[in-house]
Chains A and B, each alone.
Chain A
Amino acid sequence: MNAKRSTRVLLILIIGLFISGMCGCKHYVGVEWVVDYSAVGKWSPPLRDDCAQGFYTAICAYPDWEGKFDRGNANAWEEHFKRASMGGTDANWIDDVDIAYFAGHGAGAGSIAGPTGVGRGGGFTFGVDAHDDWVLAAIPGNREPRWGDKDLEWIVLDVCSALAFKSDGDDVLYTLCVRWANSDVMHGLHYILGFRTLAHDDGDRGRFFAEYLTGVRDGTKYTVREAWRKATEDTEGYTVQGAYLRASSPGCDTYDDHIYGCGSVSDDPDPTSQCYCYSSWPCN
């Protein structure tokens, strides 16, 4: 009898520990950045590491948040952002965290041939032509990301023009909906945060964004969309436009999303019925 009781108590203890582990669960942040683009022919912006790592450090300082990866330069790989069905490993990287930040160069205008040629806003670029290639493309026929089907809720693309409209220039080859605002790419993802225009190489933006999210800046824990707007206002000028794109479905409105532990968070939008909401603003 004593042995049976002891076993029961032990079982209850184990289950209790398991449940408490779930309730006090951690949330994860991952960042990737590229300063050195010399191997692929682009110029090297010196502050991309400060930007992404500033975000990483500030989020990790917040309770119940833990850093999962901080990868830069030749260790920042396109395959980390790419879906498994196309040879990527995003389930172990970008989609294995709750919030991700990429700081580097966007994709410029290009010819159709080859892995570039995605047009302005059609993707973003890495410093090595390896571990797949140096362009993460989100264009018809080569839609490489599929985010949110595992863990990822919010991703920052701190690059030029990721959220440009086709009407913004002849070098934007595809519409926003064909690139990002579709259930293929946003498959459980709440937000893509970025820029509609060219953005500058700034080393503080990531930290500012995190400080607005976590209340460190002025005591208010801002929503994800507010915090990104404010971080871009602080670090850019009137010629630059910040932007976000969010998915939303009935019962899952992401408008008032905070990050975990800082306020309300919507459930993942249902990709089969979600709509897409976009906002852009001058960074004055």
Chain B
Amino acid sequence: MKKICLLFLLSGALFLIETARGDAGLYASKNEPELPESLALASFKLVHPLPKVPEKMMVYKTIDPKISREDITKLMKTFGLEGKIDDRQRQFVVKDQNRVLEVFKQPGTGYLRFSNNTKLAIEKEAKNLPSEDNAIDEAKKFLRANDLLPENTFLAGVGYYEFRKYDSIGNTIIQGKSAVSIGFGFKIEEMKVEGPGAKAGVVFGEDGEIIGASKIWREIEPDKEMKIITPEEAFDKFKQRWPGEAEPEQFKRAKIKTEVSIKEVYVTYYAKPGCVPQDYIEPVYVFKGDYQTSSKIGEREIKESDYFEIIIPAIPEK
């Protein structure tokens, strides 16, 4: 009798379990929650594998600029400037009509720039611009002679200042080049530093006149080695900048699909604009690639593709 009761109870329990599963299955297929119309979901594709990186990287401390009025006087001679030295709170400024020398002295900065504001980005053809090879040679000579191009630099490229004028109905009246720029980047441990605070350059105008020159860089010294996040952790943080990642089946049903193709991932260092204080130069991961969004909302079909460069700090947040 006891055995029969036990068997009965077991059967009943099994029956209940099966029924519940059956109901759940029915619910999943008939009452599947609809994705909201605007919901965007992303899929990620690593075109190349994530890089191998060391467990720790050096963090560099920036050295406060050591710049005196005597240094400014010397630079004024270099750039042919006459005028008084404006000793401001954050920087020295010398103005000679529309030619300006600005050198930051604030701790944590690294910024020296000469600009001839009358001649930079003007809407006029410059005659006798130097050839690219000549411009590169002259730029190196000038910067090195003035201690503005240290060893840890590399030639970044040649760029042109261009202008165009159109008439009232869009015909081109005139177009041309008003200057040529030679740019250099900075390296730390053979890694090219990212960011606007790691560059030097010279701009040549008509007849090869130097109308711009700059060294935007903070002197640094090693501080300490710190553990960095793994490439996988960096990839997770990268994904958080995008719409939520979806499983393949869910992605197919998304109203807006974003396909992200990561073509390059590497570690390097990042330098902020040279005119703002930055106490430490720290490592970062750089993700580069392109993405495509596609959606159909009602009758509207949308497709868009674009590039991206996204920087993720490599030092873990405290």
Contacts and interface: CB of A to CB of B under 8 A. Distances in A.
Contacts of B304: 107-110, 116-117
Contact of B165 (A42, A43, A235, A276): A276
Contacts of A105: 306
Interface residues of A, number: 69
Given A218-B102, A284-B183, A234 B168 contact: no
Interface in B95-134: 95, 100, 102, 113, 115, 117, 120-123
B301 A234 contact: no
Given A41-B243, A42-B258, A218-B93, A238 B156 contact: yes
A129 B38 contact: yes
Given A43-B310, A219-B86, A278 B161 contact: no
B211 to A, nearest CB: 11
Interface in A86-133: 105-111, 113-117, 120, 128-129, 133
Interface residues of B, number: 73
B302 A183 contact: no
B164 A278 contact: yes
Given A272-B168, A279-B163, A281-B161, A108 B306 contact: yes
Interface stretch (A15-23, A57-65, A197-205): A197-205
A274 B168 contact: yes
Nearest to A211: B275
A75 interface: no
A116 B303 contact: yes
Given A40-B40, A110-B304, A279 B181 contact: no
14 contacts: A41-B42, A43-B260, A43-B310, A44-B242, A106-B306, A129-B297, A218-B102, A219-B86, A219-B93, A230-B115, A272-B168, A274-B168, A278-B163, A279-B162
Interface of A: 38-46, 105-111, 113-117, 120, 128-129, 133, 160, 171, 175-178, 181-183, 198, 200, 202, 204, 208, 218-220, 222, 225-226, 229-230, 233-239, 241, 255, 272-284
